[in-house]
Structure 1
Amino acid sequence: MSYERMGNWRKTHTCGEISLEQRNEEAILMGWVEDIRDLGGIKFFTLHDSEGMIQITAPEGKVEEEIFEKIDSISKESAVAVKGKITEAEQAPGGVELIPEEIRELNPAKTPLPLDPTGRVKADLDTRLDARLLDLRRPKPSAIFKIKHLALQTFRNYLTSQGFIEINTPKIVGTATETGAILFPISYFEKEAFLSQSPQLYKEVLTGSFEKVFEVGPIFRAEEHDTRYHLNEVLSADIEMAFATKEDVMEVLEDVIVEIFERVKTQASEELEALDHDIEVPEKPLPRLTYEEAIEKLQEKGEEIEWGEDFSIPEQRLLGEIIEEPYFIIDWPTREKPFYIKPHEDNPELSHAFDLLCREIELVSGGTRIHEKDLLKKRLKENGLSPQQFQYHLKNFEWGLPPHAGFGLGVERLLMILTGAKNIRETVLFPRDRKRLKP
């Protein structure tokens, strides 16, 4: 029915692109209704779409009586099409308004609405996520996902410019990448299968042909966290490079992070303003701390942490207060890192691993990988994993798999930094955690 109501109408302009230069032109706009007002001899409503908003003004005597009466029957957030003339109006937002010649209601909204899409009335996060469509019409959530689009576009464009090719690896797997304890089992015909927790093993193998690869895709972890930093399905941006070490991929990471910050700051200024958030572009090279230096800094601040322990969120927050910008922690204890991370040749208790952190948030993990089959089998056993389960992976190391390194970046955690979001769920369209499987 809505298509029939559109008839031969097609959108000629977005609400956000109407300007004074187009005054006296005819336009067909399509979007959603908000802020309906009746001042007696004149009626208004704001029409907004994904690009902006414009005021629709109906003065009595200047529009058809049918239009004047129709405005009273339209509910907020109904989808409508409006045909009319662009007119200069100093009192209107943007200095222009549309005088309607015809209004077509494409799909009425049922009232009362579960939340206020203008954002003027606060709603808790659960209410927002339960009515996500309406929530995403609000300025702040919309701004988050426009920034997310820009960040991912920048990631892809930068790596492509550096000779990387984009890959797509399976999300249904038969073997754990790190530990089976955080895998989601699924029913897969007569076999045991799992949702992928990382593209790690596949991207390593693909360095043996394409040399430089990247992937942006979902990963799944059955961790029982219930924090504002964790979800069970997130987006990971991964790279892997042949004939490379951790220093090489850390340089790539620095470049792409700075590029993302620069583009968001310069190209998403309106979105940052809507979020009331500002970002500073990091300077290269980013600070580098060894794991041992990080432990010492925390101990100097009175933290009771011993060598070999991972950092808690409060400890990461304290390090972030000391350093105040994105920074690397390198040379982690081998036992704290996955089996595929290469130990130091002269001190096997340390590994060629790194993390990138910003404030209290761990954004990236990466390192130099093991490319020798015997050492990899040894590390599998040390991690309580059976080499037999990894036979399909291990045989690739008999075919000249090169030395390689890479990293995985948590896209939503980066978005928390870029947008000022306080909860990672705000950066996912339809988040999945222990309690939320719908919508």
Structure 2
Amino acid sequence: MTQTETMPRTLARELPRHEGQTVKMQGFLHARRDLGGVQFLVLRDVSGITQCVGSGLTLPLAESSVEVVGTVKAHPKAPGGFEVQVQDFRVISAATEPAPVEIPKMEWHVNPETMLDYRVVTVRGLKERAALKVQAELLAAFRDHLQQEGFTEISTPKIVSAGAEGGANLFPIDYFGQPAYLAQSPQLYKQIMVGVFERVFEVAPVYRAEEHATSRHLNEYLSLDVEMGFIQDEEEVMALENRLLAAIMTRLKERCAHEFTLLNATIPDVPAHIPRISLMDARQLVTEKFGHQVGGKDLDPEAERLLSQHFAQTESSDFVFVTKYPRAARPFYTHADHNPDGSLNPDTTRGFDLLFRGIEITSGGQRIHDHAMLMDSIAAYKLNPETLEGYTEVFKYGMPPHGGFAIGAERLTAKLLGISNVRYARAFPRDRHRLTP
């Protein structure tokens, strides 16, 4: 082996501790330019970018994999404050044609469809991978905190015989001649698993056959699901999510400061007690304060934005829980609320949503754990109990009071980073019109 071959690889972030030394770097040719016989090339590796300066080099097309050996010198205008003066240059794997988009010049808002069409290359962009890095740390923090609180990670089927929410918005598939569907939620399975581990969570894709084409929806997205048993009411579930979000933001502050700076985004402070407001009070507030009439059973997107604006202004909170949803706006398994005298209120549930910076990122609540009550609810929702039998039978065997929530990972990532379209918070998004790449 040559001396170069035995040299350890140095990453861009490691250059400050190698000033004056000869290093070997490997990465992608991010950008290049010639200035009067002096060649500047920008090398991109997993940790960042490095300016390299040389002369007489035969440079390949951008995005080629290359190796640079050179001396590290301080330079105030170079990325990271250091550059590499090239002594030796080698092409590891040459690009065979120009990239369809100039990676250093990409902007999400300029030509979004082109960026998605060529996602196999555009995902290499600094901002694109920064968003995915933040999401990776978000997922790690999600897992770590829940495990610290005694939760067990589970894996549930993604091919199912019926929907978790009554059969709507399902992708049908042929399962060896039988009708089946892609799972729209692990809801029913994670409730069953409460009877095993009491506290469970899952990180997995879910599928919604909804024909909308908006900046906030995907047809396949990553759902962060949580379920916990032996609770008093939905307040315990909201308190858990409060602690979880605080832990996630702490980790992002520790590990993703560079990515947030690159994307000109701020990490929110999570209040010790996220504000709460009932759905009916929320609707009244946005009507009286902002003159916005809310239609339908829930809050519309504009109402969510206005309500978030109100709590940001009045309580300096980017988060707000909307509680006490009506039965008509919640799935059949949502537990009814109680009246002050202790009796059940058939019209109001213990369901909630969490809004963050103007958009819903969580839906949750307490679930029905009593078998008779669950069967009554299935009948009231005019669902077929036979298709839900594999789920409902567990409630014959002493299920505890329980509840949980689900967070859309892409929505949370997008709102954290100020990304206007949720598709750019997923490496390879699936929306109404996109099956590739």
TM-score (norm 2): 0.91
Query: Residue 233 of structure 1: which of 198, 220, 235 is its match?
Result: 220
Structure 1 stretch 189-198 or stretch 255-264: which is displaced more? 255-264
Aligned pair in 2 of structure 1 residues 93, 227: CA closer, same or farther (>3 Å)? closer
Aligned to 1:38: 34
Asked whether 1:305 is paired with 2:301, we answer no
Aligned to 1:270: 258
| CA shift for structure 1 position 110 | 3.7
Aligned to 2:394: 396
Q: Distance in 2 between matches of 1:230 and 1:182?
A: 13
Asked whether 1:113 is paired with 2:111, we answer no
Letter in 1 for 2:183: S
What stretches of structure 1 of length at least 5 have no aligned partner? 1-6, 60-67
* CA contact 2:297–2:328 (8 Å) conserved in 1: no
| CA shift for structure 1 position 209 | 1.4
SS of the counterpart of 2:347?
coil
* CA contact 1:211–1:242 (8 Å) conserved in 2: yes
Aligned pair in 2 of structure 1 residues 103, 357: CA closer, same or farther (>3 Å)? same
Aligned to 1:376: 374
Aligned pair in 2 of structure 1 residues 295, 34: CA closer, same or farther (>3 Å)? closer
What stretches of structure 2 of length at least 5 have no aligned partner? 313-317, 339-343
SS of the counterpart of 1:118?
helix
Aligned pair in 2 of structure 1 residues 93, 421: CA closer, same or farther (>3 Å)? closer
Aligned to 2:415: 417
Aligned pair in 2 of structure 1 residues 296, 91: CA closer, same or farther (>3 Å)? closer
* CA contact 2:294–2:303 (8 Å) conserved in 1: no
TM-score (norm 1): 0.91
Query: Residue 161 of structure 1: which of 144, 148, 154 is its match?
Result: 148
Structure 1 stretch 327-336 or stretch 262-271: which is displaced more? 262-271
Letter in 2 for 1:318: L
Aligned to 2:83: 97
Q: Distance in 2 between matches of 1:409 and 1:91?
A: 41
| CA shift for structure 1 position 24 | 3.6
Aligned to 1:430: 428
Aligned pair in 2 of structure 1 residues 90, 224: CA closer, same or farther (>3 Å)? closer
Aligned to 2:341: none
| CA shift for structure 1 position 205 | 0.6
Asked whether 1:281 is paired with 2:269, we answer yes
| CA shift for structure 1 position 279 | 3.1
* CA contact 2:170–2:209 (8 Å) conserved in 1: yes
Letter in 2 for 1:203: K
Structure 1 stretch 24-33 or stretch 36-45: which is displaced more? 36-45
Residue deviations 1:322-360, cap 9 Å, x none?
Answer: 112210111110111000001124311000111101233
Asked whether 1:145 is paired with 2:138, we answer no
| CA shift for structure 1 position 266 | 4.0
Aligned to 2:121: 134
Structure 1 stretch 238-247 or stretch 38-47: which is displaced more? 38-47
Asked whether 1:328 is paired with 2:321, we answer yes
Q: Distance in 1 between matches of 2:211 and 2:107?
A: 33
* CA contact 1:319–1:359 (8 Å) conserved in 2: no
SS of the counterpart of 1:251?
helix
Aligned pair in 2 of structure 1 residues 298, 171: CA closer, same or farther (>3 Å)? same
* CA contact 1:370–1:376 (8 Å) conserved in 2: yes
Letter in 2 for 1:407: F
SS of the counterpart of 2:337?
coil
SS of the counterpart of 2:336?
coil
The share of aligned pairs that are identical, in percent, is 37
Query: Residue 342 of structure 1: which of 330, 335, 340 is its match?
Result: 335
Letter in 1 for 2:371: K
Q: Distance in 2 between matches of 1:358 and 1:294?
A: 15
Map residues 206-225 of structure 1 onto 2, 5 A cutoff.
206-225=193-212
| CA shift for structure 1 position 35 | 3.1
Asked whether 1:354 is paired with 2:342, we answer no
Residue deviations 1:121-156, cap 9 Å, x none?
Answer: 774111111222332232211211111111111111
